[in-house]
Structure 1
Amino acid sequence: MSSSPCERLPQAGDFEREAGTEVFYLAPRPVPTGMPAFSGQNLHQEANEVFLDVGAGQASVEFAARTYIGSVMTLVILHSFTAGLAAWLRRDKEPFWPSWLHYELNPFMWGFIACIAALAGYNMFRIIRNLGSRSPVRFNRQRREVALVFRGEAPVYVPWEEVIACVSASQIVTQYAVMPSFALMLGLRDASSGDVYWVTIPGGNLGLVVSEWEAIRVYMEEGPAALPTPVLSDEEFQEGTVAYFNMCRGVYRKEHWWPRYAFGFLVIHFCSGWTLPCHIAQWVNRRPKAVFPQEVLDWSQPLPDERQAKPSEALLKESAEIRKAFAKGQNLLDYYQIKFADPATESPATAG
């Protein structure tokens, strides 16, 4: 719709398509999206009148654990199958079982598998360590700023109305099937260096990831009372838990013929650890997280009413325009298509 965001900072309404991935920008200038505020992964770990902490859910940890376990198990099964095939081809020269055992216990192959398993374990250890050492992103609604802290680095503070938010759509292989992948991506730009730090939050579909952003937006603009109330308990609701796995299993069994259920779900998930990745994800989620430095804790203290930041006039004006467009039956895409199709109608306050 606009000039390439690669040549400048992106703006709400920008659209990108590259290498099979489509990206639509919702912010800077966090205007209403028209979607209900909703968090499918219970990301809002702590919220009060001053700040909201947003951290990663369990789904990404479960997927990583399932991928690593599945990779190692695939090598083990492939090796056993190859050993059996070699023993079968030599059945006229040597009895099958002693021959199979000879090939199966090949020390070189098991050494290779052990190296792959060690590499997978190391990568999983790094993921767990990074999650434990990284503080959540803190949104301070009274200051209208966002704080991001990396271990060993000074905190990065970004004005709320300058936070970059976009949703992406692509195709990936997940722990359940080859399916479309959607994610909410938050970009926090360090004004001193110009670097943009990205936080990626995966979601089940496009509507859910937009609703995740809308939940953050309504908190910053309206307060904690605007946050959605979970309709189910965390254990039942959050992707990556054992309960969610069992729910998916039940749906898959109900919706598919038994051979597809047996080979498309049971075999695949048995070879990728069954519910072990879920237990790993839940354990990681329960581990103590990194605490904020004192500087951020001081920044998080309540402010008197007269010192609290207010929305900009540009944000208030464009938000009102978008709500009028929603009242006419338009959606967010319609609004930006009309806006960018005729630059003469774009008001100076909303110009990029």
Structure 2
Amino acid sequence: MKSDKYWRLPRAGDLESKTDHESFYLSPKPVPTGVTAFSSRNLNRESNPTFMDFASGSANVEFGVRGWIGSTAMIILFFGMIGFALGAYDYIKYGSPLFSIVVMLLLPNWFVWGVLSFISLINGYLFLRTIHQQTTYPPIRFNRQRREVAYVPKRGQPPRFIPWEEVIACVTSGKVVTQYGVHNSFSLMIGLRDSEIGDVVWLTVPTGTLMLAVSEWEAIRGYMEEGLSALPRAVSEEFEEGTVAYFHYCREVYRDNHWYVTYLLGFVLIQFCSGWTLPCYIAAWVERLPKTSFPKSVLDWSRPLPPEEWKQPSEELLEQSEAVRKSLRKGKSLLDHFQGELSVEETNNA
């Protein structure tokens, strides 16, 4: 997703409120967050002492396929339930066959199947576009020795290299409306701004909680500032979103923490109508598809440098990071630290 919003870069600590969500910025000038690094994307699989690759995982594909199957199943169930209710009424009052109206509504009904076909075409297009993006666009590459980030905006266009300390990162919280109701949504958003034209390319990483969004960013920040040792241990498939193992793990947790009837209606029925584990297998298949390699300029840029040529963090970042660490040692959160700085700045201005 592109945006030309940032003609000036925001700062770490900026808080932005909109009607549908709130955003808290963690970068530019990526300071420590004070949370434990964690990533559901197994960053260790695509990292070495020179660079680390970051891309959307199988969870996005799994969710999209599940929504595709679920929306189709809901329409069929809706008309099926209406037909059954009308059929039961006719059966009781007139003795008509119980399922005659169900058959009449579903089998020869061109309106119903037209709606289903339209929805399937839209979801199919989105699914194919996702596959196209994941297989034809290389991931974002973080080079800790050069302290730069490389990405390819479009196929055939030259890659762009963004200074690490100018990468925009924020965590967002808001509300999202799904077929299951209104839910809280949280995500990590990474913005790569082209300083020449002002465009920002965004990578959005949905997460289950706000803390997980911060932890995902902390894993990236820790690698760039400290190296491989700062990366969290690779998670098993049980904790990697979008996998079959993670699905069964969630099912067991839901079953253990809810009444049996709630488990049957709130999990089994909904997940059965959305494909059960089929979306996980489709996501795994997409994950195994061959990906487009980086252009030669990025491969050359990715070669290791001698230690004396490694780029060093700026003095401004070092000073801000040390100030944040002092606040964290005092038991403050990152938000508390920046709110305290803002209060001091307002007092000085007064």
Q: TM-score, normalised by structure 1?
A: 0.90
Question: Deviation at 1:98?
Answer: 3.8
Indicate if the aligned counterparts of 1:24 and 1:167 stay in contact, CA closer than 8 A: yes
Matches within 5 A, 1:34-49: 34-49=34-49
1:4-83 aligned at under 5 Å gives the runs 8-83=8-83
Counterpart in the other structure of 2:167: 163
Q: Structure 1 residue 225 and structure 2 residue 229: aligned? A: yes
Report the Cα distance in structure 1 between the residues aligned to 2:339 and 2:247, rounded to whole angstroms. 40
Query: Is the aligned partner of 1:207 residue 2:211?
Result: yes
Say if 2:239 is the partner of 1:237.
Answer: yes
Selected match of 1:328 from 327, 330, 335: 330
Change in Cα spacing, 1:78 to 1:11, as seen in structure 2 (3 Å) is same
Quick check: 2:138–2:293 contact (8 Å CA) kept in 1?
A: yes
Q: CA deviation at 1:57?
A: 1.5
* CA RMSD, Structure 1 to Structure 2 (Å): 2.2
Q: Distance in 2 between matches of 1:82 and 1:148?
A: 51
CA distance in 2, matches of 1:40, 1:293: 27
Per the alignment, residue 254 of structure 2 pairs with: 252
Contact 2:43 2:52 in 1 (8 A): no
Aligned letter for 1:184?
L
Q: Give the whole-Å Cα distance in 2 for the aligned partners of 1:172 and 1:43.
A: 28
For each residue in 1:121-147, what CA deviation from the matched residue of structure 2 results, as whole angstroms up to 9, or x when unmatched? 222111112111121110011111000
* Counterpart position of 1:143: 146
Decide whether the 8 Å contact of 1:170 with 1:181 is kept in 2.
Answer: yes
Q: Give, in whole Å, the separation in 1 of the partners of 2:120 and 2:134.
A: 21
- The one-character-per-residue Cα deviations of 1:298-329 (angstroms, maximum 9, x if unpaired) are 11111122222111111111111111112222
**Distance apart, 1:254 and its partner CA:** 1.1
Once the two structures are superposed, what CA deviation does each residue of 1:85-104 show, in whole Å capped at 9, x if it has no partner?
34344442854444442333
TM superposition score normalised by structure 2: 0.91
Tell me which residue corresponds to 1:265: 267
Shift of 1:110: 2.0
- Any idea what the Cα deviations from partners look like across 1:276-306, whole Å, max 9, x if unmatched? 1111111111111221011100111111222
Given that residues 45 and 54 in structure 1 are in contact (C-alpha distance below 8 angstroms), is that contact kept between their aligned partners in structure 2?
no
Cα distance in 2 for residues equivalent to 1:341 and 1:51? 39
- Return the alpha-carbon distance in structure 2 between the equivalents of residues 78 and 258 of structure 1: 25
Q: Which amino acid aligns with 1:12?
A: A
CA distance, structure 1, for counterparts of residue 256 and residue 178 of structure 2? 20
The ranges of structure 1 where at least 4 consecutive aligned residues each deviate by more than 6 angstroms after the TM superposition are: 174-177
User: What 5-or-longer segments of structure 2 have no aligned partner?
Assistant: none
Please list the CA deviations of residues 219-264 of structure 1 after superposition, one character each: whole Å capped at 9, or x if unmatched. 111111221113x42x222011111111111111111111111111
Q: Is the 8 A contact 1:87 1:103 kept in 2?
A: no
Which residue does 1:301 correspond to in 2?
303
Alpha-carbon deviation of 1:16? Answer: 1.0
Question: Is the contact made by 2:7 and 2:198 (CA closer than 8 Å) also made in structure 1?
Answer: no
SS at match of 1:342: helix
Q: Do the aligned residues in 2 keep the contact of 1:39 with 1:211 (CA within 8 Å)? A: yes
**Alpha-carbon displacement from aligned partner over 1:127-169 (angstroms, at most 9, x marks no partner):** 1121111211100111110001132222111000100110001
Matched, 1:343 2:345: yes
Would you say how many aligned residue pairs link Structure 1 and Structure 2? 340
Pair 98,30 (structure 1): closer, same or farther in 2 beyond 3 Å: closer
Go from structure 1 to structure 2 and tell me whether the alpha carbon gap of 1:100 and 1:212 turns closer, same or farther (over 3 Å shift).
closer
Task: Could you tell me which runs of 5 or more consecutive residues in structure 1 were left unpaired when the two chains were aligned.
Answer: 347-352
- 74 and 308 in structure 1: CA distance in 2 versus 1, 3 angstrom threshold: same
The aligned residue for residue 350 of structure 1 is: none
Q: 191, 196, 201: which is aligned to 1:192? A: 196
Q: What's the % identity of the aligned pairs?
A: 50
Task: Find the residue that maps to 2:46 and give its secondary structure.
Answer: strand
User: SS of the counterpart of 2:31?
Assistant: coil
Identify if the C-alpha distance between structure 1 residues 30 and 310 changes in structure 2 by more than 3 Å, giving closer, same or farther: same
Q: Does 1:118 find its partner at 2:115?
A: no
